[in-house]
């Protein structure tokens, strides 16, 4: 588990296959002022990971930020039955077998107000994602809204496709198919982007790809130039 700043850590997990590509998984852990843990996009559970989590604090919140990041939630709820699960409306509908405390489409921010801010990035009929900002470390946390793969795990053809759809570092962005789905919702998306930029993040963490730790504002402006 890598410490990014005060009370924030990331941990990379197993690789999953998605559309024929190897996708490395990554979760973000934030320790709140109460000492409780807020966990974004939980990765596959293991005894070693459980031990590390126990050293950080008690798991309070589990976050499923979009309809694709839910694969390991069941195991986490079994391990931490006291944890409260939150997800977007899309993932709540998709995982009717899980018990969600509330929707990220509603006002859940008060639960972690002052420490973590959030914005539901919408404008597409097929993709919505709740984006978070850890105030203390000035870290922006996204899931699939930005992908920035190094390409080291891709074969030649996979790297070629990744570059073509715009998800290869250092020029990562929203995948092409999702960018196209915002065709009639760009005005809404630009409003969400303005809030992300207003946070002035100093670190950008995404679930898939290389973390950005320098010139984050410039990276985001370039990454979202398709909204212009």
Query: Which tokens in the block code for residue 44?
Result: 């596959």
Cα four-point dihedral sign 68, 44, 12, 8: positive
pLDDT 10s digits, 165-209: 888 889 999 989 889 999 899 999 999 999 999 999 999 999 888
**pLDDT at res. 208:** 85
Segments making up each domain of the chain, as ranges: 2-227
Give the number of other Cβ atoms within 10 Å of residue 77's Cβ. Answer: 18
- Does the reported pTM lie above 0.85? yes
CATH topology of domain 2-227: Metallo-beta-lactamase; Chain A (3.60.15)
CA separation for the pair 175, 68 (Å, rounded): 14
* Residue 14 reports pLDDT greater than 80: no
User: CA 43 → CA 27, 76, 99, 207, distances in Å?
Assistant: 6, 9, 18, 10
- The stretch 30-43 carries a mean pLDDT of 96
C-alpha to C-alpha distance for 162 and 150, rounded to whole angstroms = 10
Asked, as a colleague might, if the bond just before 11 is cis with ω within 30 of 0, I would say no
Strands 58-64 and 139-141: unpaired
Sheet holding 21-31, edge to edge: 2-5, 8-18, 21-31, 36-40, 58-64, 84-87, 102-103
pLDDT for 189 equals 94
Dihedrals phi, psi of 210, to nearest 5 degrees = -75, 130
150 touches 16 (CB < 8 A): no
Average pLDDT, the chain: 91
Helix (H) or strand (E) run with residue 218 in it: helix 216-223
| pLDDT tens digits, 127-178 | 899 999 999 999 999 998 998 987 677 777 778 877 888 888 899 999 898 8
For residue range 94-120, list pLDDT tens digits in order. Answer: 999 999 999 999 866 678 989 999 999
**What per-residue confidence (pLDDT) applies to 68?**
82
Q: H or E element: which one contains 165? A: helix 156-165
| pLDDT per residue as tens digits for the range 39-95 | 999 999 999 999 999 999 999 999 999 988 788 999 999 999 999 999 999 999 999
Q: Is pLDDT above 80 for 226?
A: yes
17 pLDDT tier (thresholds 50, 70, 90) = low
CB 220 within 8 A of CB 196: yes
pLDDT of 85 reads 96
């Amino acid at each position: 588990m890598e410490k990014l700043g005060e009370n924030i850590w990331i941990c990379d997990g197993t690789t999953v296959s998605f559309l024929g590509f190897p996708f490395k998984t990554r979760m973000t852990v934030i320790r709140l002022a109460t000492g409780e843990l807020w966990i974004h996009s939980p990765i596959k559970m293991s005894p070693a990971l459980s031990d590390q989590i126990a050293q950080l604090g008690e798991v309070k919140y589990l976050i499923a930020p979009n309809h694709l990041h839910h694969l390991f939630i069941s195991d986490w709820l079994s391990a931490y039955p006291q944890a409260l699960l939150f997800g977007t409306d899309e993932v709540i509908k998709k995982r009717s077998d899980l018990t969600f405390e509330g929707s990220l489409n509603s006002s859940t921010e008060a639960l972690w107000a002052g420490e973590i801010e959030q914005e539901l990035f919408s404008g597409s009929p097929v993709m919505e994602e709740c984006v978070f900002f850890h105030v203390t470390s000035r870290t922006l946390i996204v899931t699939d809204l930005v992908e920035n793969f190094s390409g080291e795990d891709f074969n030649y053809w996979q790297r070629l496709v990744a570059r073509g759809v715009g998800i290869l570092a250092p020029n990562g962005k929203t995948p092409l198919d999702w960018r196209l789905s915002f065709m009639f919702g760009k005005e809404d998306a630009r409003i969400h982007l303005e809030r992300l930029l207003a946070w002035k993040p100093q670190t950008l963490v995404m679930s898939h790809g290389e973390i950005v730790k320098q010139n984050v504002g410039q990276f985001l402006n370039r990454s979202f130039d398709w909204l212009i």
